[in-house]
Every structure is written in structure tokens, then in C-alpha cells.
Structure 1
Amino acid sequence: MGFIDVLASIIPQALFFASPLIFTALGGVFSERSGIINIGLEGLMVMGAFIGIVFNLTFYETFGSATPWVSILVAMALSAFFALVHAVASITFRADQVVSGVAINFLALGIGLFLTKQWYDKGQTDMVERPFYTTDVPVLSKIPILGDLFFSGMYITSYLAIALAFFAWFIIYKTSFGLRLRSVGEHPMAADTNGINVYGMRYVAVMISGALGGLGGSVFALTIALNFSHATIVGQGFMSLAAVIFGKWHPLGALGAAIFFGFAQSLSIVGSSIPLLEDVPQIFLLIAPYVLTILALAGFIGRAEAPKSLGEAYVKGNR
């Protein structure tokens, strides 16, 4: 297998696995830039996966080929409201944000499994009728070499994830909304003094993280898992959280980290066809993403400075 052939087998798979991580990590960036730790990204992905699959199974005859797109929109909306549980606990009642996020993870999985058992009378849903499918980009897929690497056999959601990362960068760093968002995460008292509604900004940021986490979960379910069970989302939300930290709370940094983790996950699929990895036991390729996540966070990110007020509850009037 030539070098170009190896890249052609790795890059689409890496972006395929990375897209749910990118969506969810961007949600984490919005939340944590506002000062709210969101350990609950895993739970938000679980909720998004559950809603996306159930909606798809229920309405595929109604919406036809548009079903997966409508499914992810519904998953985004309902996951944003589900994130309000974390927002109310962390912002209004000033609960420990880590504990609240962990509770979100357990609550989402519990709700999903309970309703799956009630509605489908088994531990998992049926397989979806209308998932996302790969496609070749017209014209661009015909470009020599680059067409095979980046524009053939790809999911539209992969391009959407990359575009959204650049859009998130623009929102956070080039708009007044982004400036207010970053200010309430760095120095909420100063932001409040300047007339910024700290509580309101943090609520919006957590709901955005809920919507993007639900988007990531539903995309994962409708491209990779194709059904919902207790094992649909296993560690993907925590990997997204690692991408937030590895990317230093920057949208484009999170994009790069998510692609790196997506590449690590793709090795379990394409590793056996790569000359250097064909003799590596499958179990090592399966655990590679998690090992690389730990190594990346433990020793290779350099100095990563979180928003100064991350994890600190704001009490209006306190100095």
C-alpha cells in the first residue's frame, strides 16, 4: 500500500470519528469560557444520541431523506433544555460544578435507558432507518490526490464540524457577545460592574454547550452507532472534555485536539491495513485513543491557562 493510499484510508476515518468530538468540545469551550465547568458533556452526548435515535425511528416515514437532519436539530433543542439542569444547579444554586456535571452524566444515561426499556421493551432501540451516509463532493472529489483524501466518501457532518469550529472562533473572539462571554469567565465582578448580566451570559453559554453536546451525540449515533443503548456513548464526552483542555479553551485548539483523538480512534478500524501497524494486536489499537488522551493531557500540552474564574460561583455584590 502506497503512502497516498494509507492517507486516503486514514483521513476520512479520522474526520468521521472526530466530528462528534468537535461539536461537543466546542460546546465545552463556550461553557468553560463563561466560567462554568462542564463535566456533563458525556451526559449531554448521551441525551443527544437518545433523542436523535428515537426521533429518527419515530418520524422517518414523515420526513423521509431529511429525517437525520431534523433529528439532530431536535436533539440540539432538547439537549439545550436538558443542560438547564446543570445551569440552574451551578449558577442559581451555586452547587459544586463538578458534582453537578457528574449528576448530569448519570441522569442522562438513566433517563435514556429507562425510556428505551419502556418504549422498546429491551435494552436498546432498533437500528435507524435513515442514518447519515457518505458522499462525494461534486467537482472537488475529482481533483487528483486531494479529491481522494478530503472529498471522497466523506460525511457532510465532518465538513459542518470543521466549519462550526471556525464560526465559534469568530463568535468568541470577534464579536461583542464573545467579549462579554470571555469577560464573565475571567473577571465576572468587573463584567457586572460594566453592565454585563453575568448570570444571563453563563446560562446562555451552558445552553449552547447543551445544544452542541446534543449535536455531537446525535451525529455520533446517526453515523457510527445507528442505535441507542448503554454503550452508545462510552467515553466520547470525556474525550471531548479532554479536547477542550488539550486545545487550551480555544475553538481552533479544540478542533485540532478532536481531530487528533479522531485519528487515534480511526486506528482501530484502519490499523490492520497500515504496514507499520498490521502486526499490532487489536486490543492495543482499541485502547490507543484513551492512552493518547491521557498522554496528551499529562505531558504534551504545555502551559494551559484556564479562564481565571472557571469553577467559581459568582455572587452578585461580593468583592
Structure 2
Amino acid sequence: MGGRWGRERIVGATLLVVGLLAAWRFGAWAAAVPVRFTLGEDGSGPALSVPGDVGAVVFGALAAVAGAALLAGRWRRWFALLAGAGAFAVVVSLLCWQISNAPQGQSFMPLANTARGTFLLALPLVFGALAGVLCERSGVVNVAIEGQLLMGAFGGALFGTLTGSPWLGLAAGAGCGALVSALLAVFAIRYLVDQVVLGIVLNLLAIGLTGFLYESLMQRNQAAYNEPPKFAEWTLGPLAELPVVGPSLFSGTIFLYLAIALVVILQLALFRTRWGLRTRAVGEHPTAADTLGVRVRWLRYRNVLLAGLVAGAGGASYTLVSYSFTKNMIGGKGFIALAALIFGRWSPTGALLAALFFGFADQLQTYLGAIDSGIPSEFLQMLPYLATILAVAGLAGKVRAPAADGKPYVTA
């Protein structure tokens, strides 16, 4: 919607109303007890403290101020900052209400644990979103991220258990993700099948195949097929002792460091190398790229297969770090990764930030459930998906996919 009631004013009006409601209701419901945001992993140590009732009112009012600024229509260049600050203020207002009413001894939020949980929950989304970037920058829509993650989780669990090596499990998980991508590439690029429909079919294929093999093998003999060894955590010395960010960024498994490395490498490769220039050209104007000697279909094949390897590795993070494989264990995270790709505007760094946003929403529902929140558990479980809808439909605004995204290329 453009004109007088464009995105800025709609988001501004929403923040104004929500901020005023938060100040009014959260402030009334919050208890007049100190709410502590501790810098450590528990309730001890340094903390940022604020009275629960005062904090709920103040942060709700700050969200309303950010909304009013956007509604005035004179702060368009600061839209992202004001919208983000307003959303953050609403969340803090909510937390002041919830934490102030927590059972005795739980009126604190450990920021280090929250940050660590956010990163852990965001990791599969980062891999999935990067897989989407590789495909869609090349002109191929990748709705099959869910299936690639699921196959990666299955392959990691099965082959990790059979070989007794988490590294071989990781390689197998990446390979299983690449198998799904190979089907996507062949049918989308060679046979020109509708890419959205194809992605949905591949997701259903992955769910059916892994479910059948799980019941046939893993469920009957867990020890032989579904108890893979786990990757150990690597701690980067004194850096891991830094407040809040230390345990999140400098203490983790191979998947944490691999995700960060992939973001940096792909960001530089897409915008600073010849391969990146050709990839973006193929995604924007394949005919022109073909005229200049770029092998369009070959480049698309290669990038789609690479995307499968990335997504498969992300799926393996489920079963080679914490869990055993279960049926349909991805639970829609592939579609959230697809939303992170859009919210991040088809860039690796944007995808990382969007994945962290959705990871925080997931961590928030876990935390609120742990402190016996009065919010119904069914609503808490909806938080990551509600955040996805709000981010893509509201905060993302008008975004433009690569011009040739989803359009098959047929040579003359």
C-alpha cells in the first residue's frame, strides 16, 4: 500500500496502539518488585534492574513514541531503527510484566543464557536461509528447504550411528540434503516443472521417506541406527568469558563456527568475486548473462547442489548436537528459514540477522514457559510463527526478489 497510508504509517500506527496498550495493561498487571536482567547464566552477578511496574509502563510508552514518530511520516529514513526499537520496547514491557509475577526466586532473566539459546535455535535457520540465498540468487525458488533440513537430520543420525563418527555423520547429512537439491535442480532446470509445486512435493517426499525409514529401522533398533555420537563444544579461551556474547559466539560446536564462516564467505563471494557477479547476473537477467558467455543452466545446477549441501549440514546439527532423529522433527523450521531469506532481502548477512530474530522469538517462548508464565502454552508455541508473519508481512515491507527467480531459462 502506498501513498498516505504506506508501510511506515501502518507500522507506526500499530506500534502506537500496541505501545499504549502495553503501558496501560502490562503496567497494571506487573508487580512492584525489582526485575533483574542478569549478565551471567543465572540470577547471580551483575544485573540491570528495574521495578516491574515502572519498566512495563516506561517501555510501553517508548514503543508508543517510536510508533508516533513513524506515524508522523517524517522519519522514513529511520524506519528500520524506529520499528526495531519499538518492537524491542514492547518485548521488554512484556518481560517486565511476566518476570515481576514469576515465582519467588525466578524474577530475573539471564541474558547470557538467552543469547546462547537464541544462537542455538537460529543455527538451522541460518543454514536453511543461506541455502535459499544460493538458489534464489541463481534464479531457482527453493521451497524444499524443509525437506533438505529433514534429510540432513536423518542422514546425520543414521550414518553417524553406523560409522561412530560425527564427522562422517555431518558429511552424510550434507550429502542427503544435496540429494533433495539434485531432484530440485533436475526437475526445475531440465524439465521446467513449476518450482513452488516441486518444492512442496519434495518436502512431502522427504517427510514420507524419512518417516518410513525411521519406523523400519530406527524405531525398531534405536541403539544400532539412531544414537549418533555428538560433536563436542569448542571454547575459544578468554573470549568465551566475555559477558553475554562470550558463551554465544565463542563457545559452541562446529556448526556455530561453520555458520558464521559460511555467512562471511558467501557475503564476500556474492558481492566481491566473479562467481558472485555471474550468479547475480543469472538470477537477474539470464539472457544477458548467456550472451556474455555464462553457462546459465550449469551455474544454476552447481549452485542448487551447493545449497543442498549447506541445508543438509544445517539439518545434521539437530541430530549431531542434541537430539536423536524423530519423525518430521524439523517442524516447519524450513519455512521459517525461507521467511528469513525474504526478511533478510536475499543477502547472507541479512539472512543471519533475520534468523537471529526468529531464534530469539523461539527462545522467548521457551523462557516464558520455564517461569510458569500465565500466557497459555498454546499461544507461546505460536510465537516463532507469529514473529515470522509479522516480520515478513509488516516489517519487511516491499522487497524485490531477483528478477528471474522462479523463471525457467530455455536456450534458443
TM-score, normalised on structure 1? 0.89
Q: Which residue of 2 aligns with 1:47?
A: 151
Residue 129 of structure 1: how far off its partner (Å): 4.2
1:288 maps to a residue whose letter is: L
Q: Which residue of 2 aligns with 1:18?
A: 122
Contact 2:131 2:311 in 1 (8 A): yes
Contact 1:261 1:289 in 2 (8 A): yes
The gaps in structure 2 that reach 5 residues or longer are 1-35, 41-109
Q: Which residue of 1 aligns with 2:44?
A: none
Contact 1:116 1:123 in 2 (8 A): no
Distance 1:302 1:16 in 2: 28
Distance 1:229 1:289 in 2: 21
Against the structure 1 CA distance between its residues 234 and 272, is the aligned structure 2 distance closer, same or farther, given a 3 Å change threshold?
closer
Correspondent of 2:338 among 218, 238, 241: 241
Distance 2:188 2:201 in 1: 12
TM-superposition CA deviations, 1:213-244 (whole Å, max 9, x none) = 101111123234x2222231110111111111
Greater shift in the superposed pair: 253-262 or 105-114: 105-114
- What value does the CA root-mean-square deviation take over the aligned residues? 2.1
Q: Which residue of 2 aligns with 1:77?
A: 175
State the number of aligned residues: 307
Structure showing the higher strand proportion among its residues: 2
* 1:111-260 superposed matches below 5 A: 111-120=209-218, 122=220, 127-143=226-242, 146-148=245-247, 150-152=249-251, 154-224=252-322, 226-260=323-357
1:141 maps to a residue whose letter is: A
Against the structure 1 CA distance between its residues 71 and 239, is the aligned structure 2 distance closer, same or farther, given a 3 Å change threshold?
same
Distance 1:133 1:230 in 2: 25
Residue 136 of structure 1: how far off its partner (Å): 3.4
Which SS does the other structure have where 2:236 is aligned?
coil
Correspondent of 2:388 among 267, 274, 293: 293
Q: Percent identity?
A: 39
Residue 144 of structure 1: how far off its partner (Å): 5.3
Residue 123 of structure 1: how far off its partner (Å): 10
Greater shift in the superposed pair: 79-88 or 22-31: 79-88
Q: Which residue of 1 aligns with 2:37?
A: 2
Q: Please identify the structure whose Cα radius of gyration is greater.
A: 2
Residue 128 of structure 1: how far off its partner (Å): 2.2
Distance 1:237 1:143 in 2: 32
TM-score, normalised on structure 2? 0.70
Contact 1:33 1:182 in 2 (8 A): yes
Residue 284 of structure 1: how far off its partner (Å): 2.5
Contact 1:9 1:270 in 2 (8 A): no
Q: Which residue of 2 aligns with 1:303?
A: 398
Against the structure 1 CA distance between its residues 85 and 150, is the aligned structure 2 distance closer, same or farther, given a 3 Å change threshold?
closer
Against the structure 1 CA distance between its residues 124 and 244, is the aligned structure 2 distance closer, same or farther, given a 3 Å change threshold?
farther
Bigger relative contact order (CA 8 A; separation at least 6) = 1
Against the structure 1 CA distance between its residues 123 and 44, is the aligned structure 2 distance closer, same or farther, given a 3 Å change threshold?
farther
Distance 2:346 2:243 in 1: 36
Residue 137 of structure 1: how far off its partner (Å): 2.7
Contact 2:235 2:250 in 1 (8 A): yes
Residue 272 of structure 1: how far off its partner (Å): 4.5
Contact 1:221 1:232 in 2 (8 A): no
Contact 1:117 1:124 in 2 (8 A): no
